Structure 1
Amino acid sequence: MSDRIKPEQITFDLPNRPAMGREDFLEAPSNALALAAIESPAGLPAGIMVLTGPRGSGKTHLAHVWAQQSDAQWLDAATLPEDLPYILASDARAFVIDDAHLVSGAQGQEALFHLINHLRNKGSLLLTARQPVRDWGLTLPDLISRLSAAAHVALAEPDETLLAAVLVKLFNDRQLRVQPALITYLLGRMERSLAVAGDLVARLDAQALKLGRPVTRALAQELLAKEFGSDGDDLQDLDIPPE
């Protein structure tokens, strides 16, 4: 009987839905200040807050936590000018704009300025962004003034304990149960970045499905050797697509 090559398992790019509830948020020194601000009984300072941090740092998760407790609506930065008339005509008084740094152009800036004015003293607005407001490329002086006066909270880099917990959570979100040895192995070879953690878990999940194998340390070693030509010492160079 001739040897036959086992075909690789066909994979489907199904959406992964991470758990975004308050009980799923992992508290740590790097996010303590932001979490306290989000959960303050007094609400957002002056009704508006800008939450900043790198990709994958937990901004969106915190925004979900705040939106759930505030019954806030999510707005799209890219379509804010078109949506503004409906927003102003609604009874909603709490909004989230994730990736608010994507608000651009004269129309987008004008729309954000009008929304802030609309909510002044009667509503709340939470903005998340990768960069501080000064780096958004804004040109409308009145909007710059409003945002500069808002409360700003930044998420710090995660420590190793948080990063380990996040790796476990990311695997759990994909219904994957992994051994502690795998987490220890990855921590010793990766950049201290939640974005890198998310990308790496996605790659391991895809590779496991493709080969029909469990996610183990051996699989991680093979994947890193294939992509980096080593055991993963250069994992900090992992290519992460822009947010």
Structure 2
Amino acid sequence: MPRQFRLSLTAPPLWDRESFASSPTNLEALDSLDAWPAWPDGRLALVGPAGTGKTHLARDWAARTGAVTIEAASTGNAPLDLASLRGRPLLVEDADRRSEGDLVDDETLFHLINMAGVDGGCLLLTGRLAPVAWEAAVPDLRSRLNALTVARIDAPDDVVLQAVLRRGFEAAGIRPASDLYPYLMARLPRSAPAALAAVAALDEASIDQGREVNKALALAVLDFGDSEDDEDDEG
């Protein structure tokens, strides 16, 4: 059978609040972001495991406030013009991974934190771990990080995991069988990256084999250790 190619229907990611799946795992983060601009000292750290929605919520906040977004782990950047950022809402993404980039060293982060709460400025930082666990060689930065107000997002629950799966399938232009969702959610780790990896594996297998995306394909492709009790679902 000739290899089939699915037309790319992938749209740019939506960072708006309406497309975010709220659940008890992220209510603390939602409440904390909605409390802006009344953050203590104009600062907030949004933390949680990879794939829990930190970027989604942070970019939504940035869009609503007109914040300047700084990707701390990126490379090939010109130095930040700190004077031009004074008094503005700022988002620093992946602040705990700033050593991987060339934009936000310890001194720069220290100044960005100090600028928050001055002349109308504010600062949202994102990271996988709480700021107390971030590396900091500058003693004054260490004390600033330890004092930050923290909002946490926990690992996805079923509500969030199903939303991640649905968006992944929609982005790939796939309409899976409805019973695939409970099948996957009962077996996948509580992780958005794991859910998206499963979607990618099913998408590739569906194209390669010319098969529908359903439980039978998941049984054949994903290593869940299931028995061959779903053969009647073959398609």
TM, length-normalised to structure 2: 0.82
Alignment match, 1:198:
196
In structure 1, how many angstroms separate the alpha carbons of the residues matched to 2:189 and 2:110? Answer: 38
* Aligned partner (choices 111, 116, 119) of residue 113 of structure 2: 116
Aligned-residue offset at 1:136: 2.0
Gaps of 5+ in 2: 228-235
The CA distance in 2 between the partners of 1:189 and 1:9, in whole Å, is 29
CA shift at 1:10, angstroms?
A: 5.8
Q: Tell me the secondary structure at the aligned position of residue 8 of structure 1.
A: coil
1:61 aligned residue (56, 66, 70) = 56
Instruction: Give the corresponding residue for 1:177.
Output: 175
Q: How far 1:79 sits from its partner (Å)?
A: 5.5
Give the helix-richer structure, 1 or 2.
Answer: 1
Contact 1:88 1:118 (8 Å CA) reproduced: no
The equivalences for 1:143-154 within 5 A come to: 143-154=141-152
Are the aligned partners of 1:138 and 1:144 in contact in 2 as well (CA < 8 Å)?
A: yes
Aligned pairs (5 A) from 1:2-21:
6-9=1-4, 17-21=12-16
* Superposed CA RMSD: 2.9
Q: Classify 1:80/1:13 alpha carbon distance in 2 versus 1 (closer, same or farther; 3 Å).
A: same
Q: Which residue of 2 aligns with 1:239?
A: none
Which aligned pairs between 1:54-93 and structure 2 lie closer than 5 A? Answer: 54-78=49-73, 83-90=78-85, 93=88
Aligned equivalents of 1:16, 1:99: Cα separation in 2: 24
1:81 and 1:108 in contact (8 A); partners too: no
From 47, 50, 64, give the equivalent of 2:45. Answer: 50
CA drift of 1:173 comes to 3.1
Percentage of pairs with the same residue: 36
Q: Matches of 1:229 and 1:192 in 2, distance apart?
A: 14
CA distance in 2, matches of 1:184, 1:33: 26
Any unmatched runs of 5+ in structure 1?
A: 1-5, 233-243
Q: Structure 1 85/130 Cα, relative in aligned 2: closer, same or farther at 3 Å?
A: closer
Which AA in structure 2 matches 1:190? Answer: L
| 1:12-64 C-alpha deviation (Å, 9 max, x unpaired) | 99977432211101110000010111122544332111111111011111101
Deviates more, 1:78-87 or 1:103-112: 78-87
Match of 2:90 in 1: 95
The separation in 2 between residues aligned to 1:187 and 1:58, in whole angstroms, is 18
C-alpha distance in structure 1 between counterparts of 2:184 and 2:224, whole Å: 16
The one-letter amino acid of 1:145's match is S
Q: Is the 8 A contact 2:8 2:172 kept in 1?
A: no
Distance in 2 between residues matched to 1:99 and 1:210, nearest whole Å: 36
TM-score (norm 1): 0.79
Work out whether residues 98 and 128 of structure 1, in 8 Å CA contact, stay in contact via their aligned partners in 2: yes
CA–CA separation in structure 1 for the residues paired with 2:193 and 2:127: 14
Distance 1:124 1:158 in 2: 28
Letter in 2 for 1:152: V
Corresponding letter in the other structure for 2:52: S
Hey, what does 2:17 align to over in structure 1?
Answer: 22
